[in-house]
């Protein structure tokens, strides 16, 4: 957890710790554990066993990771943790590490294995209670355990990975070569539930409402009588952040909406309406369109766009703070997917996928202490929390919108003219999905303006105009996602309307890539 944010005090009776070895899915493991109503935290992979024991966890989970156990400097855990008597579940790299530490052998597999596989039980074990003899799993590994010591017993395998799950005969140590935490392992939640309840002895008494209560108390204690500035974008993340802060400090909250020229159609009016009618907050609106578009002029590279947008936001908030007496804190709606994709997970060497304008890199001269109360939550958890806090359903279920706005959906150079095209196309996509009754059934839908032109024919004349890509995905956690199978009739209406109504567009494409390997946003 970021040292600058309030740390909620844990009041849960049951605690499970995830040791992070750099997996992109480490926090997803924690999320799956919380779904079982068991409180979970992520800690350093090399945390000493004595410190782990002092936390009195009921279970430990060793995450996957990008390394090989034989790599120089590969992350390792304290081997004494296996002797604590606490149940341990190693996942992928975590399984390989546990098996190696306890006498097994890990080798580079003849062929790397990525994707779905059919796994079969080779021995009975409570981990698989309620599961069929064969079940689908998601593999993502190069190495695999090829031999276990006499202390281990294989309990499941696939055609290409005969030792896909193991148990230790003396210690409460289990290993899974596949990933039970991802949605592509359909029965993974059941396996984790069996580990937590049948092996660790958890009952599942933690609720998201506890998080809200503890976070409100922590913010109130930290902030005291000082004022907090919260940046609003109109999305659920910043809205829930504002709601938490409003419960904690009431009138000491000042919300700021920066009109950066990168908002969706009617975004500004919607935010003003929601946060003056519902919260009655002290809301300031900054018109900074010229500043942002000037900073983005001529810039095509995605990471540089994000950097410049981040610097412009910082400048805006510095200027805004000078007009708000007593402002010492800046609150942001940063979520864990933002953190993990930025390679900024607290204790793991995760790879950087893309920069997020509100993750890390805030200069000391900003003058604010940072509050990020949602930093450890996933999107679906934030939505549940928003409902707990009494936010309107329409706001809570609004599709996500990236912090850098339309700039990362306007591929290539960002100009007023290109943004106008994109904004109009995006509005049509959302409007037609709403009309089709699919808005709540999809996780995110939007238009992308491509940096290419193509030849077309309109009114018997040749055209050479823009192409729009439509992106619509299904996901629960936004760490993995699949493309939505929209009805052909709906896609046809979207395409026809965009081409007919948005001047300068003569082609519409539909994005059918999943995450991974693609990301949800194009930049």
The Cα 163–Cα 155 span in angstroms is 8
The Cα 288–Cα 258 span in angstroms is 7
Judge whether 141 counts as a catalytic residue.
no
Judge whether 399 counts as a catalytic residue.
no
pLDDT digits (tens, 9 = 90+) for 84-132: 999 999 999 999 999 989 987 777 766 566 678 899 999 999 999 999 9
Report residue 268 as tokens.
């500004």
Torsion angle (degrees, nearest 10) of CA 219, 222, 226, 230: -40
Report residue 8 as tokens.
């909620």
Q: Indicate left, alpha or beta for 107 from its phi (over 0: left) and psi (-120 to 50: alpha).
A: beta
Judge whether 45 counts as a catalytic residue.
no
Q: Which CATH class is domain 413-510?
A: alpha beta
Q: Is the pTM of this model over 0.75?
A: no
Q: Rg of the chain's alpha carbons, rounded to an integer?
A: 25
Please tell me the predicted confidence (pLDDT) of residue 110.
60
Report residue 454 as tokens.
């193509």
Burial of 351 (0-12, 13-18, 19+ CB in 10 A): exposed
Element (H, E) at 445: strand 444-458
Residue among 40, 92, 230, 316 flagged as catalytic: 92
The Cα 387–Cα 393 span in angstroms is 7
Whether the CB-CB separation of 487 and 436 falls below 8 Å is answered with: yes
> Which of 491, 341, 504, 357 has the alpha carbon at shortest distance from 419?
504
Domains 15-199 and 208-396 share a fold: yes
| Contacts with 421 (C-beta within 8 Å, 6 or more apart), sequence order | 449, 466, 502, 503, 504, 505
**Fold classified for 208-396:** Rossmann fold (3.40.50)
Please tell me the predicted confidence (pLDDT) of residue 279.
66
Please tell me the predicted confidence (pLDDT) of residue 324.
84
Please tell me the predicted confidence (pLDDT) of residue 507.
96
Residue among 179, 184, 357, 466 flagged as catalytic: 179
Whether the CB-CB separation of 49 and 84 falls below 8 Å is answered with: yes
**Domain 15-199 = CATH 1.10.3210.50:** no
DSSP, residue by residue, 52-100? HHHH--SEEEE---SS-TTSTT-----GGGGGSS--EEEETHHHHHHHH
pLDDT digits (tens, 9 = 90+) for 328-358: 888 888 876 666 555 544 444 444 434 444 4
User: How long a stretch of residues is the chain?
Assistant: 523
The Cα 164–Cα 194 span in angstroms is 17
Q: Any idea where the domains of the chain sit in the sequence?
A: 15-199, 208-396, 413-510
Assign 3-class secondary structure to 208-271: HHHHHHHHHHHHHHHHCCCEEEEEECCCHHHHHHHHHHHHHHHHHEEEEEEECCCCCCCHHHHH
Mean pLDDT of residues grouped by 10 in the chain (523 residues)? 40 84 86 91 92 96 89 91 96 92 77 78 95 92 75 90 92 95 92 97 88 89 90 83 90 89 88 74 88 95 92 83 82 74 46 42 62 85 88 85 91 96 97 96 96 88 93 86 96 97 96 92 93
Inter-CA distances, 405 with 314, 347, 357, 385, Å: 15, 29, 10, 24
């Amino acid at each position: 957890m970021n040292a600058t944010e309030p740390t909620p005090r844990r009041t849960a009776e049951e605690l499970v710790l995830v040791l992070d070895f750099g997996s992109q899915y480490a926090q997803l493991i924690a999320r799956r554990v919380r779904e079982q109503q068991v409180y979970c935290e992520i800690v350093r992979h090399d945390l000493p066993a004595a410190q782990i024991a002092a936390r009195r966890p009921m279970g430990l989970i060793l995450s996957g990771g990008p390394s090989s156990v034989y790599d120089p400097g590969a992350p390792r855990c304290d081997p004494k943790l296996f002797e604590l008597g606490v149940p341990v579940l190693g996942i992928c790299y975590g399984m390989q590490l546990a098996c190696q530490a306890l006498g097994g052998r890990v080798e580079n597999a003849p062929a790397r294995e990525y994707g779905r596989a059919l796994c079969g039980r080779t021995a009975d074990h409570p981990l698989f209670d309620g599961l069929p003899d064969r079940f689908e799993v998601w593999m993502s590994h190069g190495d695999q355990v090829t031999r276990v010591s006499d202390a281990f017993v294989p309990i499941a395998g696939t055609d290409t990975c005969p030792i896909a799950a193991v148990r230790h005969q003396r210690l409460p140590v289990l290993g899974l070569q596949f990933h039970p935490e991802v949605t592509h392992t359909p029965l993974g939640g059941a396996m984790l539930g069996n580990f937590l309840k049948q092996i660790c002895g958890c009952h599942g008494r933690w609720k998201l409402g506890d998080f809200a209560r503890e976070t409100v108390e922590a913010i109130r204690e930290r902030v005291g009588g000082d004022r907090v500035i919260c940046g609003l974008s109109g999305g659920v993340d910043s809205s829930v952040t504002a709601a938490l802060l409003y419960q904690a400090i009431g009138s000491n909250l000042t919300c700021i909406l920066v009109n950066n020229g990168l908002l969706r159609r009617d975004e500004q009016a919607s935010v003003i309406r929601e946060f003056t009618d519902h919260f009655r907050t002290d809301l300031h609106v900054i018109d900074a369109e010229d500043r942002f578009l000037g900073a983005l002029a001529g810039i095509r590279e995605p990471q540089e766009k994000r950097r410049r947008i981040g610097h412009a936001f910082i400048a805006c908030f510095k200027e805004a703070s000078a007009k708000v007496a007593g402002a010492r804190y800046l609150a942001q709606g940063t979520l864990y997917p933002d953190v993990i994709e930025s390679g900024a997970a607290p204790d793991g060497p995760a790879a950087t996928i893309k920069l997020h304008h509100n993750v890390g890199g805030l200069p000391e001269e900003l003058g604010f202490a940072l509050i990020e109360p949602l930093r450890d939550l996933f999107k679906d958890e934030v939505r549940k929390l928003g409902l707990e806090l009494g936010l309107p359903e329409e706001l809570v279920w609004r599709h996500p919108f990236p912090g850098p706005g339309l700039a990362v959906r306007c591929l290539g150079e960002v100009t007023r003219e290109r943004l106008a095209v994109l904004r109009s196309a995006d509005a049509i996509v959302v409007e037609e999905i709403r009309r089709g009754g699919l808005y709540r059934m999809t996780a995110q839908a939007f238009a992308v303006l491509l940096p290419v032109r193509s030849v077309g024919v309109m009114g018997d004349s040749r055209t050479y105009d823009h192409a729009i890509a439509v992106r619509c995905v299904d996901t629960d956690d936004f760490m993995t996602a699949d493309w939505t199978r929209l009805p052909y009739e709906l896609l046809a209406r979207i395409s026809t309307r965009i081409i007919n109504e948005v001047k300068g567009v003569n082609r519409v494409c539909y994005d059918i890539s999943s995450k991974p390997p693609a990301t949800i946003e194009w930049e």
